[in-house]
Amino acid sequence: MVLGAEILAFLEACPMAVLVLDTTGRVIFANTGAGHLLHLEDRLAAVDIADLIPEWPLLSGVSTVFISDHSGQRRLYSVQVMNWPTGMETVTVAFFEPVDDERAAGYAAREANLRLRYVIEMLPEAVCVFDANDRYVLWNQKYAELYADIAEHLRPGVAFEDILRTSLAGDGMRELVEDKEAWFSARMQKFRQPVSQEEQQLRDGRWLRHDDRRTPDGGAIGMRIDITGLKQREDWLRQLFNANPMPMLLCDGDSLAILQANQAAVDFYGFLPATLLSKRACDMHVDGDLEAFEKILLHLDRDCDARTIWRQTTRDGSERHVLIYIRQLQEGAEHRLLLTVADVSDRVLAETEANRLAHHDILTGLPNRMQFYKALEKALASEDREKVIICCLDLDGFKPVNDTFGHAAGDDVLKDVAHRLQMHARGHLLARLGGDEFAILMTGERGEAIDLAERCIGAFEQPFIINGLAIRLGISIGIAAGVDRETLMQEADRALYRAKADGRNIWRVTPPDLPVRKRAKA
């Protein structure tokens, strides 16, 4: 021990608790008072001063600090530190005594207050703290800078209501306010609520969010958050939404209620905005499509690119074909769906017309050779293939009409021929195979086919009017039945040639096992 016996006796008799430390900070002596207070007993060899006083080292003089005893309990002490030279070495002597509870409570409160100040100064937002009587307790520098017009009036204990009135009475109020009294009343009402949030625009164009929350002791903590960037992004997105030339709908992901609709959607569907917002996302779909589209929206697990063409109706009852792109959005806890509608009606109509033209004769509108062969193949693949019958029809005397009156007149005659034959075909497939050649596909008995041929020949009893002249034409018909397309067409052609050879304007059937009646020529 570097201390002499006399010094140790003095320190032991000292009414204050005493610790002696070596140059490394290890406790080398503790008088009885210190051992009792700190529960050191005979464990000095294992004690480091930093374990007892976390704020060590302390400056010379008197400090008020918390000391943790050897059992882990923490208490406030007044500590005086002295350095004593002892020959070749200097030791540190710490005298300490407990601070009374009242002083300790005040110190703890001041320490907590100081730490709270540190905390709110470190926050990126403007912050203020109020007591249960709505009086200012603390505020950070950002708050004072934000409300420069009332900064000089801020002091602990001043009422929030008084500060608001001071701000309203001055010319430098930051908030953009039209009706000051109405704003004051609403602001105080919201401030007194357990939780209140409000967005406020400032005179310089910035936006703040007021976030006020009551504390359990009746006080309040207020934060002022600059949301200018957020508001700008919201405005840009709103402009993109509203100005988008494609119809767009924002819907609730659970109820499918339409929450927002851009101008393009209002124009496309023809409903008033309020009416459109009273509908669901699937309500414009036609029956049949509605249930299918609703099911897709309610069970969507990812974004959906448009692949299906849906049919929708607008306010005037017209039907539109649309592709719909679906994006899932999350607004806090709310699930949203963003629908972008692409009108493809013109494309669908063009494709339908192209498909019709690919399978129909342009002049007469009848099915063409391709469509006739497709229908024939389908009929021959059915259970009634044994009853499949075709009639090949060829005009008699048409070439002189073309040569005499021209192709335009000939086209008019062909359209009239198609009309007459269609009237007598009675639902059987009538096609124009090319030139003045037509064909009829039916399923039935040969007797029915002969009756059909008789009706078609009868359709030519009335003359055709060409350039004011009555011109008579005839038609020859070949009838055949079978289960093979190539054979069937060859047999029908053979029957047609026989009808031509036997005098025209008659029908013939192969095989020739039915009675034949020749019609008298007009």
Query: Which domains does the chain possess?
Result: 5-99 (3.30.450.20), 119-230 (3.30.450.20), 246-347 (3.30.450.20), 360-510 (3.30.70.270)
Q: Which residues contact 403 (CB under 8 A, 6 or more apart)?
A: none
**DSSP per position, 62-87:** EEEEEEE-TTS-EEEEEEEEEEEEET
Residue 101: its pLDDT value, please? 66
- How far is it, in rounded angstroms, from Cα 391 to Cα 491? 10
List, for residues 333-392, the tens digit of each pLDDT value: 788 999 999 999 888 888 877 777 788 998 999 999 999 999 999 999 998 888 999 999
pTM (2 decimals)? 0.48
Confidence of residue 6 (pLDDT cuts 50, 70, 90): confident
Q: Could you tell me if 409 and 415 are in contact, meaning their C-beta atoms sit under 8 angstroms apart?
A: no
Q: Could you tell me if 82 and 95 are in contact, meaning their C-beta atoms sit under 8 angstroms apart?
A: yes
List, for residues 102-154, the tens digit of each pLDDT value: 665 666 666 667 777 788 888 889 999 999 999 998 899 999 988 888 888 99
- How far is it, in rounded angstroms, from Cα 15 to Cα 97? 9
List, for residues 305-336, the tens digit of each pLDDT value: 777 899 999 999 999 999 999 998 887 778 89
Confidence of residue 90 (pLDDT cuts 50, 70, 90): confident
| pLDDT at position 81 over 90 | no
| pLDDT at position 21 over 60 | yes
How far CA 502 is from CA of 476, 499, 514, 518, in Å, comes to 10, 5, 16, 9
**Mean pLDDT (whole number) for 217-234:** 88
- How far is it, in rounded angstroms, from Cα 256 to Cα 277? 11
How far CA 260 is from CA of 65, 104, 281, 502, 506, in Å, comes to 62, 60, 11, 77, 71
Calculate the average pLDDT of the chain.
86
Tokens of 80: 């005086």
Q: Could you tell me if 136 and 130 are in contact, meaning their C-beta atoms sit under 8 angstroms apart?
A: yes
Residue 316's CB is within 10 A of a number of other CB atoms, namely 7
List, for residues 266-296, the tens digit of each pLDDT value: 999 999 999 999 999 999 999 888 998 998 8
**Mean pLDDT (whole number) for 9-27:** 85
- How far is it, in rounded angstroms, from Cα 17 to Cα 247? 83
Residue 520: its pLDDT value, please? 41
